[in-house]
Structures are given as structure tokens and as C-alpha cells.
Structure 1
């Protein structure tokens, strides 16, 4: 009998040890380069998931070389994979167009959205001393676009769209040097894209007077991007709303993820968003309104959460 009691005790002990690991959900979150703000967001999400689920959800953040890679990896990943990308890239992947031409895969059709994260927001920042009030005022001025980034490409596109190509003196300076260059008068302004409030714009506004240009409704329409409003008071000296453009970014998974896991991830994200916003202001720009930026279907588990909260989704998302 004593022997049986020892065996029973050993079994119960092993079960007690095993139970927490059985309840634990492990997720791989593919984000961006470690130097980007989106990698910082991924780390914050990982911490929020662990805290908000009392340790039941453990998120491992993986560095990425970009959104295209994140989408491509869907082909070889399982139900524990979450990644970030603009909705437009998911649409292109499913259609096998642009950078996905000749690389189509049935698994792209299994991609499902979970929740929006801060959008890439265009900032056209000019010094007060430059006297620039609008885009027309950029003509003949020295502007820093940077190199290779989304903001640099988008900035160059806008200059062309608005009739300023070849009429702006483009500075050959790295974007990382934009604030000191602006402060020292080496440039009249710079273009940057990132979630707002953007750290380099905060620094520029605090160290030297700046103006962030607003786009007109016609300019926004020509850009074919989503309109976004940066509320007054976001930056030092900003006494009015800024109307600009953005590229939405969304956290996705696939149908390989079970409904309960998708539900818990979505629920925990929204419940922890306010706390994340206290640590990093860019989360405060994320609202239910950004759900309208999601193209295509949302994961059934996430839909369950949005239904519980009384949030209306469009037919294409369900």
C-alpha cells in the first residue's frame, strides 16, 4: 500500500507540474528589424500578452527583414504564427501580383486578420524659420527624404504627384541626422514615416520650432492612401489637427490557428492597449475605427471578441 501511495503521489506531482505547461500557449510574432519602432511594438505586445493572460500566453518576437518576408513565411508556418504587414500586401499575395508574382501559394488564401496596430504615418516636417506653410512652399527648399525606407519612397512619390519633382533640393543626409541638420539650418525640412507620435518629430518639435504640413483632400485622394488625423497637441507647438496619409498595419495569423487562441490574443491585446499606451503614446492612436482598414477576412476567433464587444464588421471581413 505504501508503494502504491508513493506511485500515486508521484503521478499527482507530475500532473501538477505538467498542467501549467499544458495551459500555456506559445506564439511566434514576426515583426520588423530590431532597429525599427515596430520591433519595439512587438516587444511591448509580447509583454502585454504575458501580463494580461497571467502567463498563459507566451509570445516570442522574431526579427524580420520586412513585411513581404512576413507574408511569404505563411507558406511554411503553423497555427502559432502571427505576423504584421499592411493589408495591401495580403491582397497582392492572394492575387499573386507585384512582388508575389510567380510565388503564389494556396496558404495565402488562409491568412486572417486579428487586430490593427499603429499605422505608418507620413510626416512632412519643416522648420518655422523656413517659412514653408504648404506643399507649394517646398519649391526651392532643401528637404531630406532619406534612403530606401517607406517614408523616402512615399515622399518622393508625393513630390512627383504634387508637381514638385526636380523643384526641391534633396539633401544627401541620413534620416538619423535629420533633427540636428534641421536645428543647424542645413535643411529646411525632412520627411519621415512611422507611428505617431514619431520620436524624431517629438525631438524636432521640442528642440526647434517646426510645422508638420497637412495635405488637402485632393492630395490625399491622389496619394491613394488612407487619410489620418494627428490630433492637435500631439507635438510641441501644434495647435491644430494635422491631416495626413497613412499605410495601415495589421497583425495577422492563418486559419491554422484555433479559434480559442485567436480569441484570447485579440481580447488580451485590446484589454492591454491602454496600459501599453501609458508606456508608449503610439498605441493611443489605435482605435476600433482602424478595423475598417482591414481588407478581407478576420479570424473567427477575433470575430467572436468583436461581436461580444458590439463592434460592427463589414461583410467582407466576416
Structure 2
């Protein structure tokens, strides 16, 4: 009798203990030196806080968005990665860099939530006197090498009739602010989340104008329109109208619905706190949901429906 009572008490005590289930997730981000890697670290902290410690996120360095998508083929239900939605479409269609590398797992990719977009900045020194694209003719511009911003900047010069009319500086983008200060260059092009650290530094130390694009120019680029509010950078008295490449956090249908729900809920509920630590989160709102092309994970959909987010038929 005593033994049975002891066993019953022990069983009751175990049942009464708080659940200690822990879900581990890998978040594949970007190079460790990039702002997107820093965002991944912030998201990991937000997930731990938002889930009461039940979701632990490990941030992994990546060489880029294409690698992130390719790894879907070998990853399981604990994999979250970031990439522009356009790359997911290319992977699912076996096009461009994914030609001949198709995999059925690409069709299982599902969105969770948007993160700060890659935002184009055309930054000109006050000393250059340039305040529109046409004024860049004859000026020395730093594009950088091999990055999205460099490729996009070169494309825009061609689109807006400046190809061959601008001197391209042979300087690394990491040296953009010193080069601008000493007059080695008249301006530089950079892409990243806003506010961009190098633009903040340039605006505060040198004085700059970040060029706006017209609606016609934006249409030519075939990129998403984005507005950087006045006052974002020192001396910026008006909104900056520019372009962006949306970036989204994805997983696959291999992730269970509850984990996807908790990840999405924690992201949105902790976003305001993240924005207090890093202003780039302030630009993420419901409006970016329209940039999610393709389907959203069913667990994430559950949160969005509960919260009343706008959704399209294609996302469900």
C-alpha cells in the first residue's frame, strides 16, 4: 500500500512540473559582418523572450541567399532562412542560378514573416552639389564590388542614361565614408536595411544628399517602392523615395504548425522591442506582407488570421 501511494505521489509531482519542452531552430542568415546577421541575432533573442525560453534559435553564417535556398534540399523541419521572394520563385521554377538544380523540396518552401528590405541608397556629398540622378554625370561614384548594391547601382546608371558618363571609383565599399570625406569620391551606392550605418556616419560627418527616384524611374527598375521618412538621416528634411528588394524569413512544410505559429507570433510581438535596439525594425510593418510572393506556412497563417493581417489568396 505504501509503495502504491509513493508511486502515485511521485507521478502527481512529475505531472505538476512545468513543461520543459524545448524547440531548437537554425536560422540561416548572412555573412557575420553584415547587418542581416545582426538581425538574426536579434531575432534569436526575440524568439527566446517571446516563447518564454521554449524556442532556442541558433544563428548560422551564410554566404548568401542562393546558398540559403539550396540548403533546403538537405535540411529538416528546424530550418529557417532568409532570402528575397524572387529567388524562391526561381528555385521552384528551376530557372537562372537554379537551372538544372531543381528539387521537389523547393516546392515545400513557405514564408513566415518579412524582415527589413535591401534598400537602395544613392549617397552624394553636399560638396558635389548633386540632388538628382542627372547631376551624377561627370562625378566619381563608388559602387563597390560583387554585392547586390553594386549590381543594382550599375543597372540604374544604365537605365537612367548615365552609363559611361560616371567615373567609377576603384575603392572598397567599406572605405566609402573616408573616401567621401577626403574628396576622393563624390558619392557612393549602398544597399541594406535602413537606416544604413554607413549613411548615418556620412550624413553626420560630411553632410550628404540621398537621391530620390521619380515614380517613372522606379517603374523602370521593376523593384518595390520604398519611402525612408524625413529625419532618418542628419540633415534629411524630406522623405527619400527609393527602391528595395524585399527579404523574407522562410521555412518549409517540414516544420510543424505550432513551431511556425510561435516563431511568427514572437516575431511580431517582440518587434517593437527590437526596434528600440535597432531602428531598421521600425520599417517592418503589415505593409510588407504584400511583398511575400507564394504561400505562407499554415502555422504562420494561423497567427496572421488571429491578428487580422491583410492576406492574399495566393498566400494561403
Name the TM-score, length of structure 1 as normaliser.
Answer: 0.95
- 1:208 offset after TM fit, Å? 1.0
Is residue 2:301 matched to residue 1:303? yes
What's the Cα RMSD here?
1.7
* Rounded Cα–Cα distance in structure 1 between residues aligned with 2:163 and 2:15: 69
* Rounded Cα–Cα distance in structure 2 between residues aligned with 1:286 and 1:179: 27
* Rounded Cα–Cα distance in structure 2 between residues aligned with 1:196 and 1:37: 10
Following superposition of structure 1 onto structure 2, how do residues 194-213 of structure 1 map, counting pairs within 5 Å? 194-213=192-211
* Rounded Cα–Cα distance in structure 2 between residues aligned with 1:247 and 1:277: 20
Name the structure 2 match of 1:268.
Answer: 266
Name the structure 1 match of 2:157.
Answer: 159
Name the structure 1 match of 2:133.
Answer: 135
Gaps of 5+ in 1: none
* Rounded Cα–Cα distance in structure 1 between residues aligned with 2:204 and 2:11: 63
Name the structure 1 match of 2:278.
Answer: 280
Q: Of the candidates 253, 256, 263, which is equivalent to residue 255 of structure 1?
A: 253
2:118–2:244 Cα contact (<8 Å) kept: yes
* Rounded Cα–Cα distance in structure 2 between residues aligned with 1:303 and 1:89: 21
- 1:141 offset after TM fit, Å? 0.2
Name the structure 1 match of 2:96.
Answer: 98
Name the structure 1 match of 2:81.
Answer: 83
Question: Moved runs in structure 1, 4+ residues, more than 4 A?
Answer: 1-19
- 1:2 offset after TM fit, Å? 7.2
* Rounded Cα–Cα distance in structure 2 between residues aligned with 1:49 and 1:25: 11
2:289–2:310 Cα contact (<8 Å) kept: no
Deviation digits for residues 76-126 of structure 1, max 9, x if unmatched? 111111000000000000000000000001111110000000000000000
* Rounded Cα–Cα distance in structure 2 between residues aligned with 1:92 and 1:12: 54
Name the TM-score, length of structure 2 as normaliser.
Answer: 0.96
Name the structure 1 match of 2:38.
Answer: 40
* Rounded Cα–Cα distance in structure 2 between residues aligned with 1:5 and 1:99: 66
CA distance 1:28–1:240, shift in 2 (3 Å): same
Deviation digits for residues 245-264 of structure 1, max 9, x if unmatched? 00000000011111111111
Following superposition of structure 1 onto structure 2, how do residues 91-240 of structure 1 map, counting pairs within 5 Å? 91-240=89-238
Deviation digits for residues 199-253 of structure 1, max 9, x if unmatched? 0000000001100000011111111110000000000000000000000000000
SS across alignment from 2:68:
helix
SS across alignment from 1:125:
strand
- 1:9 offset after TM fit, Å? 7.7
Gaps of 5+ in 2: none
